[in-house]
Amino acid sequence: MKLLTVFATTSDVLLAEKVGANLGGEVVALPEELEAGCGMAYLVEIESIEKLKDFFILHNIRFENIYQIKNDNILLN
């Protein structure tokens, strides 16, 4: 499952990238159809939204929302 996480601050997205290096994710520009305090997002392929949320909580990484990407479309909550 491809997931896109948005953050309030640049420091949070950079922390997600650093701590999550073993997840294989990457920092990407925030898609224009989304709004967040930070202009960047974290894109990663992972088994479930719950697993990604648990990872962020474990590492005290604050995030605004997580969206699923399916067929190059963002599935809004």
CATH number of the structural domain spanning residue 52: 3.30.70
Reported as a single tens digit per residue, the pLDDT across 2-19 is 999 999 999 999 999 999
54 domain-assigned: yes
Q: Edge-to-edge strand order for the sheet containing 2-6?
A: 26-29, 40-45, 2-6, 65-70, 73-75
Number of domains in the chain: 1
Q: Domain of residue 8: give its range.
A: 2-71
CA 14 to chain centroid: 11
Reported as a single tens digit per residue, the pLDDT across 40-74 is 999 999 999 999 999 999 999 999 999 999 887 88
Beta bridge partners of 4: 43, 67
| Cα gap 42→64, rounded to integer Å | 11
Rounded to whole angstroms, what are the CA distances from 71 to 1, 58, 66? Answer: 11, 30, 16
